[in-house]
Structure 1
């Protein structure tokens, strides 16, 4: 198989194309002929050595779409050639033409009419949004939601999923005015530039804040949360720490929670498929579509350059 290997920690230039032996699935696993691999911010963190799970050389990539190649021992609910998309691959390995996935974290696309590039770009993040809103934030019908980094690959999945769970109002923020039009194509009631936040929301208060950005905008969000509001941290794109004081939390009767889908699904693998079932219908209806830039697998360095430069609207997907 062909794999794009991180040869050392560093910038986008550290990828190298390498021929490797085809992997074979173990018990409870499947191997997948990869057609599409998603590119996420966490992949850049792995590349830079900010998440010390592995030492180079290794292959990153957490989500893929493709067809089942081989079944591991005990796997009976898939067939060879079946179209699938994965949730988070905690073993990584997605930037390759063949990869291994846990069967419990693999979702069948049989009978679902959807572009595989859209499937790998949207479904894993939509599942993340569903789990975050139902298992951690406990979103209730009629509650309002504020989402920072509104057009990011993960954040952009929250509006439709939140509405499917009964959210009454969904507001987003974007980094620059140039991103407003793209955000308005999504299911937001209002979208604001982050530099104008929080003054721009006036007296409005939110029950749930979704924040993949962190830093100053999270700190500012505490002032616009309703009593019993929940701020849900799903990333830290700013790479900055927010100011969170215990007196502020109990004084305002608010909570700050965190959610990382990979470790959650590793500990609760059976939670993946019910969440996927809940959002797959929305995906098939075209309600979860987002801008996708498709590049050849060999252009992984260019994909990471664009991501580092914050040139990406929606998601980048690598095509094998």
Structure 2
């Protein structure tokens, strides 16, 4: 099979297209002919070596890739609820394997999209993240009907899945923040935001408005200013650190004084311990994608251009999701 390997931690040039043996599914596993593989910031961070030596995360040489869409190629022993040729999407347990023409997944992580009229590029770009958004908003943070929600990095890969799921769960108002240069794209966005504002001016623009839930995949100064925008008893959900400020901390006294809740959501750690949340989240994710609540820009690149895809994410020039096509 064709695959992209990380040969050593480093710059994007360490991503190398190669040929590897076709993997075979074991008991309880599903082999997938990959049609689309999404590229995410976690792929970039791991490749850069930010998690070097951390247990459970890949070490070179490895094939990156967390989210895959394709068709069932072969079924391992004991797998009976899927069929060869069926359209599926899956989320890797180890953040590896997706940048390839064949991928093997545990059955529990494979979600059929066969009965939905979904473009596989949209399915891989949206469904896994929408599933995670639903789990995050119903698990670590309990979103209630009528809640007001603020989402930072509004057009980012994971953030873009939150407005549709928040609306499904009954949010009364959903506001997004973006870098100033991204404001021009807000008018053409199909994502169900009620308003999108410049993150640099959000406090001034939003004035006295306060939010029950703030979703922050950005970190740094944006995270600090979020404390000023939380309603009393509000919940701040930390889902990433796209801004790259790894030394930033949350002021515990602000949390105490405001009766705030601050929760982290890392899918790799949370989902294995909360498998009971997956079926409802999967149904909500498929519904959101099929109903247009998660429509976003998608840029397709050939598998051989994986390094270019990583560079787009690193220099913030990616518009929407970047998806590789083997």
> If the TM-score is normalised by the length of the shorter chain, which range does it land in?
over 0.9
How far, CA to CA, are the matches of 1:141 and 1:181 in structure 2? 31
CA deviations 1:161-206 (Å, max 9, x no partner) are 1011000011111012x31132342211111111112222111110
Find the aligned partners of 1:89 and 1:117 in 2 and give their Cα distance: 20
User: Match for 2:194 among 185, 189, 197?
Assistant: 189
Match of 1:179 in 2: 182
User: In 1, are the aligned partners of 2:58 and 2:96 still within 8 Å (CA)?
Assistant: no
* 2:290 corresponding residue in structure 1: 284
* Residue in structure 1 matched with residue 203 of structure 2 by the alignment: 198
Deviation at 1:91, TM superposition (A): 5.4
Give the corresponding residue for 1:104: 108
Match of 1:144 in 2: 148
In 1, distance between residues paired with 2:257 and 2:287? 41
Native 8 Å contact 1:104 1:269 kept in 2: no
Alpha-carbon separation, structure 1, partners of 2:311 and 2:145: 40
TM-score by length of 1: 0.96
- Correspondence for 1:73: 77
What do residues 67-90 of structure 1 show as CA deviations (whole Å, max 9, x unaligned)?
A: 111112221111111110013442
2:134, 2:73 → 1: CA distance?
A: 29
* Counterpart secondary structure, 1:38: strand
**Separation of aligned partners in 1, 2:295 and 2:146:** 24
TM-score, normalised via structure 2 length: 0.94
Aligned partners of 1:238 and 1:100: how far apart in 2?
32
| 2:314 equivalent in structure 1 | 308
Paired residues, number? 319
Cα distance in 1 between the residues matched to 2:269 and 2:15: 26
- Aligned mate of 1:210, from 210, 215, 218: 215
Deviates more, 1:25-34 or 1:161-170: 25-34
Distance in 1 (CA, whole Å) between partners of 2:125 and 2:95 is 19
Matched, 1:18 2:18: yes
Unaligned runs of at least 5 residues, structure 2: none
Structure 1 equivalent of residue 4 of structure 2: 4
Alignment of 1:250-269 (within 5 A): 250-269=256-275
The separation in 1 between residues aligned to 2:275 and 2:323, in whole angstroms, is: 25
Moved over 6 A (4+): none
Give the distance between the partners of 2:261 and 2:277, measured in 1 at CA.
Answer: 24
